[in-house]
Amino acid sequence: MTAHTADVHDAHHGHPPPAHQSSRVSPAVLGMLLFIASETMLFGAFFTAYFFVRVVSPTQGAWPPEGYHLPVYVAAVNTAILVTSSFTMHWALQSIKRGSRAGLQAGLVLTLAMGGTFLATQILEYARIGFAWHENAFSTIFYGLTGLHGAHVFVGLCLLTMATVRAFRGHYSPEHHHGVELPGIYWHFVDIMWIIVYATVYIL
């Protein structure tokens, strides 16, 4: 055994060699992207059900059915709030990459506040919309699709809350910021998915 071989053997004695991984995408980011891909398929199933219900609806093209009114303008304002929160989330991530803890904290707090406003407005919409989820196929798929998205917003808010607490404790740095990046990727997915939900359910 040569001296070099012995040195390598000693360096790895008791420890497995580091796993090979892509230099472009970290395992954590790749895992989040794969998770989002699975969630996209879940939403796809709900959209399929939505369009099926709409196609076979006996209301002769009227959608929503007669007697049902959706708060389009309130939902539009809520959409603007959620889209804006994507920009503040991006600001937070870019701030910590530049070493700005103040920008990180401000961006996360604003994102958290706007996400909470969105969810509170949606709950208020449910309370005042005037129909229940079990009345017919339209009401069921409306609550199912928007409720599915609302559940994802709630999960995103939980992730943002943890990231915000850690940000104020000084856990992030320009070199170590996955705790901000991963919730950010998820939050952008939630925002994009809501734009699709809003356009499909409230506009089309």
pLDDT digits (tens, 9 = 90+) for 150-184: 999 999 999 999 999 999 998 888 888 888 999 99
Q: Domain 25-57+72-203, what architecture? A: Up-down Bundle (1.20)
Sequence spans of domains, the chain? 25-57+72-203
Q: Which two tokens stand for residue 181?
A: 């990046």
H-helix or E-strand containing 96? helix 72-97
User: Within 13 Å and on the Cβ side, how many CA atoms surround 62?
Assistant: 8
Name the pTM for this structure: 0.83
How do residues 28-51 score in pLDDT, each as one tens digit? 888 898 999 999 999 999 999 888
d(CA 175, CA 99): 9
CA distances from 198 to 3, 120, 183 (A): 67, 16, 22
The token duo for 134 is: 């079990």
